[in-house]
Amino acid sequence: MLACAMTSSKDSKSPFAALEALRADLPAGPEPKVAPTKIVKGPSRAVVRYERKGRRGKEATVVEKLGLPPPALEMWLKDLKQALGCGGAVEEDAIVLQGDQRTRLPALLTARGVAKITVS
């Protein structure tokens, strides 16, 4: 069985020899589609700050000035919570994450296309 597969296409015993002759008569196939590259464009700036006041002593990291609509904020919140392994919520136009995330958050925001990040 293996010997049959290794024979050349010019061999008359090969079942594919006749098909090889017809290959030249086939029309050209369609051009391959090239997927356009996505340019990630995020908000132009973000302010990341740490707060405990008004949260009964609990640490929280607040991301403000994103300028995103509420559905986009919810999507960003979900992705950031998953990446950081913490809880969080959307409060008005800010994303509030549990714990002190100031050291890890700027890299994630830069990867999402935020141009300028201010950490305070």
Distance separating alpha carbons of residues 117 and 106, to the nearest angstrom: 7
Domain residue extents for the chain: 45-119
Percent of the chain with pLDDT over 70: 84
Homologous superfamily of domain range 45-119: SUI1-like domain (3.30.780.10)
Tell me the per-residue pLDDT of 106-119, one tens digit each, with 9 for 90 and over: 999 999 999 999 99
Distance separating alpha carbons of residues 92 and 90, to the nearest angstrom: 6
Tell me the per-residue pLDDT of 37-59, one tens digit each, with 9 for 90 and over: 555 577 899 999 999 998 888 99
Distance separating alpha carbons of residues 96 and 1, to the nearest angstrom: 66
Which region holds residue 44: left if phi is over 0, alpha if psi is between -120 and 50, else beta?
alpha
Distance separating alpha carbons of residues 108 and 115, to the nearest angstrom: 12
